[in-house]
Structure 1
Amino acid sequence: MTKLDRGPWADSGVETIRPDVHRIPLPLPNDGLRAVNIYALEDGDDVVLIDGGWAIPESRQVLEAGLAALGHDLGDVSRILVTHVHRDHYTQAVELRRLVGSRVYLGAGERPGLDMLDEIRTEVPVTSLDTLRRAGAGELAERVLRDMDRGEFDASVWEKPDQWLGPGVVRFERHALRVIPTPGHTRGHVVYLDESRGLLYSGDHVLPHITPSIGFELTTSGRPLADYLDSLHLVTAFADAELLPAHGPAGGSAHARVAELLDHHDARLDATIDALGRRTSDASAVARDLMWTRHAVPFAELNAFNQMLAVNETAAHLDVLVERGRLAVELVEGVQRYVRTDDDGTGDSR
């Protein structure tokens, strides 16, 4: 559902953002996002990476070439600060630790998901499928389950980090980065703010052209969209900074993009309640009456995986509307069904 057009930002090579700060896009084959930006921070003789990329040969080759262009090699990577646990950010960090001994840092909110993998080592658990079933999309959940290539899942690439991060500041020889927990995309997502240089390494929390999926992870976060909106507001509590995202071109005001994302979700909440109308219905039915992606694609034209993201995102918006008093919800035979309360959250009736 989140497809990012390929452009110069995704091409292999090194972009210098500031002295000692460089963007290296790593490939994501067969993924609509095309590439993931990792950031190489030169720190004396060492290199600190923001995010690690996906542990595949193509990614490692491009990373090695990028470091070589800066006069470094993999052995110079002393630390990797990861924004969240998704494979395109975390798994190559684990691989580099095995290869050269890099230390891996990860937000403490990701711990429950990695703890779960200690118990389930043979196949990936997907709590998003449970959300689908509660949304009235049981058939879609079974279709997604059949489509998943579960036989090749290797939980070992999600080893525990060397250090769990909470809010605070991590300091290196030339860099000091403020760790800001920003749950939403995942419950343990963090962003890193370089206050002296005015740079925000935003991971998937703030992206320049698309909105991130919400709550697609190993464990259920409970209120992923509400958490995400709170996390967007939190970013604006700090000084504005240049946006350095994980997907898409670097640059521009982080605060300005946050304002756009908040406006988008306000409009999406209105569209969701309009799609529900005066009926009592589940998230699956509402999702089918909405358009998807910035290209306004009908639900029926999405593939099964993106239909899952669409239904779960709709459920998240409906739950925020319940939290704001505009909807009521009840569980009927395992399915959540929503109905308007005629309260728009301001005290005015609609």
Structure 2
Amino acid sequence: MEPLPETSTDDWTTPGIYTVAPGVYRVPLPLPNDGLKAVNVYAVTDGTGLVLIDSGWALDEARDLLRAALRAIGADLGDIGQFLITHMHRDHYTQAVALRRDFGGSVALGKLEEPSVQASAEPDATAMHAQGRLLVNAGAGMLLDELTRAFDSSPRAARDYELPDEWLVPGSRKVLPGRDLEVVHTPGHTAGHVVFDDADAGLLFSGDHVLPHITPSVGFQPVPVELPLRDYLDSLRLIRERPDRMLLPAHGPVTGSAHERVDELLAHHDERLTATAETVASGANSAFEAADALDWTRRKRALGDLDIFNRTLAVLETAAHLDVLVLQGRLAATETDGVRHYSVA
């Protein structure tokens, strides 16, 4: 295997190692599901030191492909000195934990991810406990049995999650001689999501905050926050106010302008807020009813046509939009028997 130019393939998920910029390589690694096919891990090196931005899911196949990719630039898994992780989701964090256990290296993660990582590392942690509670509040309690069947309700292996060596806070940090990255706090997708801004090279390692082809979910984490969509929109505006960069996303191809995609995401959520408000004006009373009245994905699919995981994300995303509409004064909300109900203000 040899490094290829970033423009050498039309399919960003094709395994290999791709040169993004001098000393910066993209390595797509596989995911074990039918939705997102891969996650991009970025190797940053000066020929001596090696840093990984995100790490992939702790899968044997992903480890083997990462090893082969690093060997193409004269490195191996034991050469990774630092893992800089954008957020705590399994496809970004867990391989760093596994590789640190086997080879060493330090793991750094955004400070505001601490409650969710702590919860995930508990021996009795289950995969979708928090989402189950939120579904009930969204009027979608009928989905709980299906969710439980799809996701094992027994405690998951606490070995998947361990605390990082360092909690990242906003500001500049030296990652290699001659290369500094600025840690930028971008909550929304998760509470402690961060992006890494390489001002000298004009690169933005955006994690899941800004993705070129899909709109990231908001607030999917073991310890939910009150208004994840508000946080996400504020974080998008923060990136829009900063200098434009080449977008290096976790899912999707490298693209030329972070600002261009941020503008598209802000416009999408403005449209979605309007559409969601219209469902309530037409009689939807809960987040589940509003989600059922909306269409989903670029294919305009009905809620019932989605698998249970994506139905759960859709209902919770709708709840996040409804709560921003309440914050804006466009809707009112009351809670009865644990279910949040919405009406036109």
On whether the aligned pair clears a TM of 0.5, the verdict is yes
Q: 2:114 aligns with which of 111, 116, 120?
A: 111
CA distance in 2, matches of 1:267, 1:69: 45
Contact 1:84 1:106 in 2 (8 A): yes
Q: 2:318 aligns with which of 307, 314, 317?
A: 314
Contact 2:57 2:90 in 1 (8 A): yes
4+ runs deviating over 6 angstroms = none
CA distance in 2, matches of 1:174, 1:151: 47
Q: Report percent identity of matched pairs.
A: 50
Q: 2:268 aligns with which of 264, 269, 272?
A: 264
Which residue is equivalent to 1:61?
A: 64
Of residues 141-150 and 68-77 in structure 1, the stretch that sits farther from structure 2 once superposed is: 141-150
Which residue is equivalent to 2:156?
A: 153
Change (3 A) 1:13 1:280: closer
CA distance in 1, matches of 2:183, 2:79: 23
Shift in Å, 1:81: 0.2
Q: Show CA shifts across 1:151-172 (max 9, x none).
A: 4721222100000001011102
1:303 to 2:307 alignment: yes
Change (3 A) 1:291 1:71: same
1:332 to 2:297 alignment: no
Contact 1:136 1:335 in 2 (8 A): yes
Q: Show CA shifts across 1:30-79 (max 9, x none).
A: 24110000000013412100001010100001000100111111111100
TM-score (normalised: structure 2) = 0.94
1:78 to 2:61 alignment: no
SS in 2 for 1:136: coil
TM-score (normalised: structure 1) = 0.93
Which residue is equivalent to 2:91?
A: 88
Q: Show CA shifts across 1:311-347 (max 9, x none).
A: 1011000000000000000001111000011xxxxxx
Aligned AA (1:190): V
Change (3 A) 1:7 1:143: farther
CA distance in 2, matches of 1:278, 1:53: 43
SS in 2 for 1:297: coil
Contact 1:124 1:155 in 2 (8 A): no
Contact 1:25 1:37 in 2 (8 A): yes
1:128 to 2:131 alignment: yes
Contact 1:141 1:308 in 2 (8 A): no
Structure showing greater relative contact order (alpha-carbon pairs closer than 8 Å, 6 or more residues apart):
1
1:141 to 2:139 alignment: no
CA distance in 2, matches of 1:212, 1:305: 14
Consecutive unaligned residues in structure 2, runs of 5 or more: 1-8
Aligned AA (2:57): W
Aligned AA (1:272): T
Q: 1:323 aligns with which of 311, 322, 327?
A: 327
Of residues 46-55 and 29-38 in structure 1, the stretch that sits farther from structure 2 once superposed is: 29-38
Aligned AA (1:240): D
Contact 1:185 1:224 in 2 (8 A): yes
Aligned AA (2:288): S
Q: What does residue range 1-350 of structure 1 map to in structure 2 within 5 Å?
A: 8-121=11-124, 123-124=126-127, 126-151=129-154, 153-171=156-174, 172-279=176-283, 281-341=285-345
SS in 2 for 1:80: strand
